[in-house]
Amino acid sequence: MIMVKKSVYLDNSASTRVLDEVVSAMIPYFTEIYGNPSSLHSFGIKAKKALDDSRKIVANSINANPEEIIFTSGGTESDNIAVFGVAAARKDGRIITTKIEHPAIKNTVQKLKTQGFEVLFIDVDYEGFINIKQLEESINADTILVSIIHANNEIGTIQDIETIGNIIKTKNPNTYFHVDAVQSYMKLPIDVVSAKIDLLSIASHKIHGPKGVGALYIRNGVKLKSLQLGGSHEKNLRAGTENVPGIVGFAKAVELNLVDLEEYTKNLVFLRDRLIDGIEKRIPHVILNGPRGVSRNSNNVNISFKHIEGESILLYLDMQGIAVSTGSACSSTSLKPSHVLEAIGLPVEICHGSIRFTLSRYTTKEEIDYVLEVFPKIIAKLRALSPLNAN
């Protein structure tokens, strides 16, 4: 029996540990200020003030106005409201996205394709950067929406959203620009004005806030059609009583992240590169998926290991107390190879041998070194057992 020596959580792109200060900030909104924010009595007024204050905090973090923020249940709902909302308002037209989008976008636009919308998927290169020329040539008078993921959830590639935004508005000022910033928010600076972003999706549980809370930035003047019928909550776009404790926790997580964002990001980069360098030096026949350096999200390491299956690696790591993933948590039950890895040109058998490590502000140098200590032995053992091993 393998004894667990440590507990190391390196699946932070799936979800993060909630900060203690966030939990403390939420508690009063369960036990004291528990009114419905739409109610007119003092309990409701206090809850409404908490919503307003939280909206200001989130808006300021991306250079938006408070009235341009609606709260949602997370990144997937924000993506759905943005894409389906634009489609419902415009009725028809061309939608452009990329071949490496999160399933919340990929599956949404595929659904719209069955409803008669023209959908184009822009190619990416071997590091996951989109083909800018192809994007520019694809935007025409009928293009109603371009949706681009800022930092890819699987391989960490950071797209130049300011350049993309300027290209979109130059080609067609009436085309809306949506950015999925779920993985980049609070790791990269985001200015919705300078990047000419019309819609932007973010989520709380990726930044040490609670699950089940997110936000969608909607630039003033953008026309969306509500897909959820009910009350007039969240600018008539998201009916239902707001999750006040969760929203307060989300805003508190934003505040706490902003305190030391530059220092925090530098530490993530140090630990990320230590892990990449350590794996490449200790383990042969590996492929780093995505770019190196500043063009890679600060917390992301995605590596393919030839001749073995990623699920086996994940299970052996888990027995040593190390939690990782084989890709997006939203696709973890699928046996299909990652569409992101296929899009960058990896063969199917290499795709299946890929592992994603993602770090957070709780990750330590000692944890990275522990991974580097036990990981080579695991890979060597699995390769010795694998029928795929060519050696």
Question: What does the pLDDT average to over 338-352?
Answer: 93
Q: Which residue, among 278, 270, 368, 294, has the nearest Cα to 324 in the 3D structure?
A: 368
Instruction: Give the tokens for residue 310.
Output: 């990623």
For 7, 30, 250, 365, the CA distances from 371, given in Å and listed in that order, are: 11, 39, 31, 10
Largest separation between any pair of C-alpha atoms in the chain: 73
List helix spans (H) across the chain: 20-26, 28-31, 42-61, 75-90, 103-114, 132-138, 161-171, 233-236, 244-259, 261-282, 310-319, 339-343, 348-351, 365-385
- pLDDT for the residue numbered 233: 85
Question: What does the pLDDT average to over 118-126?
Answer: 98
Domain for residue 194, yes or no? yes
Task: Please tell me which residue, 217 or 390, carries the higher pLDDT value.
Answer: 217
Instruction: Give the tokens for residue 344.
Output: 């960058």
Q: Are residues 99 and 248 in the same domain?
A: yes
Radius of gyration over every alpha carbon of the chain, rounded to an integer in angstroms = 22
- pLDDT for the residue numbered 6: 84
Q: Which residues pair with 121 in a beta bridge?
A: 97
| Active-site entry in 330, 370, 376, 388 | 330
Instruction: Classify burial at 292, counting beta carbons within 10 Å of its beta carbon; exposed 0-12, middle 13-18, buried 19 or more.
Output: exposed
Residue range of the domain that includes 344: 8-17+260-385
Domain for residue 1, yes or no? no
**pLDDT band, very low/low/confident/very high, at 329 (cuts 50, 70, 90):** very low
Q: Are residues 75 and 199 in the same domain?
A: yes
- pLDDT for the residue numbered 1: 38
- CATH value at residue 175: 3.40.640.10
pLDDT tens-digit readout, 20-65: 999 999 999 999 999 999 899 999 999 999 999 999 999 999 999 9
The answer, yes or no, to whether residue 225 has pLDDT greater than 60, is: yes
Tally of domains within the chain: 2
Q: Are residues 246 and 268 in the same domain?
A: no
Domain for residue 377, yes or no? yes
Mean pLDDT of the chain: 94
330 is catalytic: yes
Instruction: Give the tokens for residue 40.
Output: 């007119």
Number of neighbours of residue 73 by Cβ within 10 angstroms: 18
The rounded distance, in Å, linking the Cα atoms of 191 and 193 is 5
pLDDT tens-digit readout, 283-309: 999 999 999 999 999 999 999 999 898
Q: Are residues 265 and 200 in the same domain?
A: no
Q: Which residue, among 368, 369, 336, 372, has the nearest Cα to 354 in the 3D structure?
A: 336
Instruction: Give the tokens for residue 258.
Output: 């902003």
- Which of 180-189, 233-242, 260-269 has the weakest average pLDDT? 233-242
Which of 231, 259, 287 marks a domain boundary? 259
pLDDT tens-digit readout, 67-97: 999 999 999 999 999 999 999 999 999 999 9
- CATH value at residue 367: 3.90.1150.10
- pLDDT for the residue numbered 236: 74
DSSP letter at 130 equals: B
- pLDDT for the residue numbered 389: 65
Q: Are residues 67 and 177 in the same domain?
A: yes
The answer, yes or no, to whether residue 330 has pLDDT greater than 60, is: no
**181: phi then psi, degrees, rounded to nearest 5:** -110, 25
The rounded distance, in Å, linking the Cα atoms of 230 and 240 is 7
Q: Are residues 295 and 246 in the same domain?
A: no
The rounded distance, in Å, linking the Cα atoms of 134 and 141 is 16
- pLDDT for the residue numbered 334: 55
